Structure 1
Amino acid sequence: MFIWFTLLADWLVYDCLGLSNQSQLAQALHFFVEDTSKIFALLIIMIYAIGWLRAALNVERVRGYLAGKPKWIGYTMGSGFGAVTPFCSCSSIPVFLGFTSAGIPIGITMAFLLTSPLINEVAILLLFSLLGLEITLLYIATGMAIGIVGGAILDLLRAERWLQPIAAKAYAMGQESSQVATNPANGNAETITWRHRHQFAKSETKEIFGRVWKWVVIGVGLGAALHGFVPAGWLEANLGDGQWWSVPLAVLAGIPLYANATGVIPVMESLLIQGVPLGTTLAFCMSTVAASFPEFVMLKQVMQWRLLALVFALLLTSFTLMGWVLNLLQ
């Protein structure tokens, strides 16, 4: 499927504009066209599909399963769901709204949101084929641990206080429906028709895409500029040989970049081949995927600055500590 976006970028940049594929400008434009068109297509498809499912979401069943269970089970479930869903933060937003509107506790929702961009099944298969079982399991365990611990911390801090109005409204409505659902007099849920689900999904797609498309353009534009104009090999040459400062430097270097978990795996392989320590490599790649500037531009749609800064600090601290520990063990 993704080959069509590459062909579109080839045609526009190389055929229509006549640019050489060796020029930095052409590489930046190619990246921008390919990734913008791909993200737009995926956003429309995913927002519609998730909206279609949300229209008939059995809130009572989800809440009923979580009711009375220890919170760590909920955090683990949220992180596990994030690990098996191929979403970046931009396409996780409609799922985030679905969780909040269902009255799911904010810590479980955040566990999903933190884990989702770090892990997906394609990245796992690619990681296993390139780097083997040990590093693959380590990557999965680290990503899920960050989601579980982060969800627990944000739940403890009552992070729902710092949601954007659209997310806060969805969460409040979810909490109200949770209370209503406990009343036996309410009977069975109303049957949702296919036409209603289509109309709901169509409305969701129009509303959410209308808010985030310009941020996609800004975020991918920044990533494209860095992709085309940052010299190849700069990271390998400047991340050091395992000194303590190389890990926070790697984390900071990953912030302005743009990649998803699948796309960053080959970068991870290249860094390890070049002799960059495992902890430094994982810290850089996780920062690129989950703490990059484009990702946080997307998350600003559902989080206030205070919550966004808290999540940002939590991720950077987690990646740094993880990198230091792995470098020491190595």
Structure 2
Amino acid sequence: MFDWIENLATWLVFSILNLDEGSHLAEALHFFIYDTIKILLLVFVVIFFMGIVNSYFPVEKVRNYLSRKKLYGFEYLMASLFGTVTPFCSCSSVPLFIGFVKGGIPLGVTFSFLITSPLVNEVAIGLFIGLFGLKTTVIYVVSGVLLGTISGMVLQKLKLEKYLSPWVLQVLENSQKETEKFETEKTSLKERLPSIWRETKIILMGILPYVIVGIAIGGLMHGYIPEGFFEQYMGKDNWFAVPMATLLAVPMYSNASGVLPIAQVLVSKGIPLGTAIAFMMGVVALSLPEAMLLKKVMTLKLIAIFFSVVTLCIIISGYLFNIIF
């Protein structure tokens, strides 16, 4: 399917640039050209398709649905599934967190959305298919949804509402639940396509720098770091590799676009898939910038509890991936 991209990258690197086959620079540049074209094509297709989905089920309807329906425990799963069709990173999901809580949605359900939204979205899915294949992508999506669902349920059981910031508590006290109903959308798909196309371009341009930087770092690692370099420290035999990778990721911040190409190279250099994915999840779902934003809506104790539960679930996911693969 992507043979033409491979041939194009080979032609550019070895025929046009005349680099020596097997050199570090040639390997790094070939990786960069091939992965950049392949990933951007896949991401474009997935974003456009999910734009169609989002046009029929926008975030406002998500909040409305979750706040009005009695789902008998399935609301956590529904919130996680809704998170998969919203193209937000962890920091841009925080304003939605405020809106969800203000709309009367239980805190644990809101956490399910907040966790899943940056981890599993159209960009992450497009990248995953291109980098790891369909089977791994399906398992990743399922594990991401379960991560959000289970974390939300655990956090709800802890009854943490009292640890919301005084500002949010004041907002909740002064606000009333919205009562308006959403009108049934009757716009045809043809009429929606221009706005979907505009949104696709906005998202694509927004993630482009992350994709380029992530693949560039991945290309340098692919070309210059020898096989087995990481494996001696973070191989499958090292039981502490998964928690170490997750904890090392917390000070960093990127979205899926930037960190997935790096995760791919880590796997190619000998790190088990589960360890690499735990690192990726940690970067995307747990970061210091996110903690700073959450400080507006949560006390430090609630942030610590939230990060601890998500970290534990990510570590478990990493071990499960290593067992499966």
Deviation (angstroms), 1:246: 1.0
Secondary structure in structure 2 of the residue aligned to 1:177: coil
Q: What letter is aligned with 1:114?
A: I
User: Would you say the 8 A contact 2:165–2:299 is kept in 1?
Assistant: yes
- Name the residue aligned to 1:79: 80
User: Would you say the 8 A contact 1:86–1:116 is kept in 2?
Assistant: yes
Secondary structure in structure 2 of the residue aligned to 1:104: coil
Over 3 Å counting, the alpha-carbon distance change for 1:240 and 1:93 in structure 2 is same
Pairing partner for 1:63 from 64, 67, 72: 67
Deviation (angstroms), 1:162: 0.9
Cα deviation, 1:18-47, whole Å, max 9, x if unaligned, reads: xxxxxxxxxxxxxxxxxxxxxxxxxxxxxx
* 1:131-280 mapped onto 2 (5 Å cutoff): 131-173=132-174, 177=177, 238-280=233-275
- Aligned residue pairs: how many? 230
> Are 2:289 and 1:289 aligned?
no
Over 3 Å counting, the alpha-carbon distance change for 1:277 and 1:106 in structure 2 is same
- Name the residue aligned to 1:117: 118
Secondary structure in structure 1 of the residue aligned to 2:129: helix
What is the alpha-carbon distance in structure 1 between the residues aligned to residue 134 and residue 258 of structure 2?
Answer: 19
User: Would you say the 8 A contact 1:101–1:173 is kept in 2?
Assistant: no
Cα deviation, 1:104-142, whole Å, max 9, x if unaligned, reads: 111111110111121210110111012111111111111
What is the alpha-carbon distance in structure 2 between the residues aligned to residue 283 and residue 59 of structure 1?
Answer: 29
Secondary structure in structure 1 of the residue aligned to 2:177: helix
- Name the residue aligned to 2:296: 301
Q: What letter is aligned with 1:317?
A: L
- Name the residue aligned to 2:316: 321
Using the TM superposition, name which of 104-113 and 237-246 deviates more: 237-246
What is the alpha-carbon distance in structure 2 between the residues aligned to residue 163 and residue 292 of structure 1?
Answer: 19
Over 3 Å counting, the alpha-carbon distance change for 1:249 and 1:58 in structure 2 is closer
Deviation (angstroms), 1:242: 3.8
Over 3 Å counting, the alpha-carbon distance change for 1:127 and 1:245 in structure 2 is same
Q: What letter is aligned with 1:266?
A: P
Deviation (angstroms), 1:98: 1.0
What is the alpha-carbon distance in structure 2 between the residues aligned to residue 156 and residue 134 of structure 1?
Answer: 33
Unmatched 5+ stretches in structure 2: 1-57, 182-216
- Name the residue aligned to 1:50: none
Normalised TM-score (structure 1): 0.62
- Name the residue aligned to 1:130: 131
Over 3 Å counting, the alpha-carbon distance change for 1:166 and 1:130 in structure 2 is same
User: Would you say the 8 A contact 1:279–1:327 is kept in 2?
Assistant: yes
What is the alpha-carbon distance in structure 2 between the residues aligned to residue 124 and residue 142 of structure 1?
Answer: 13
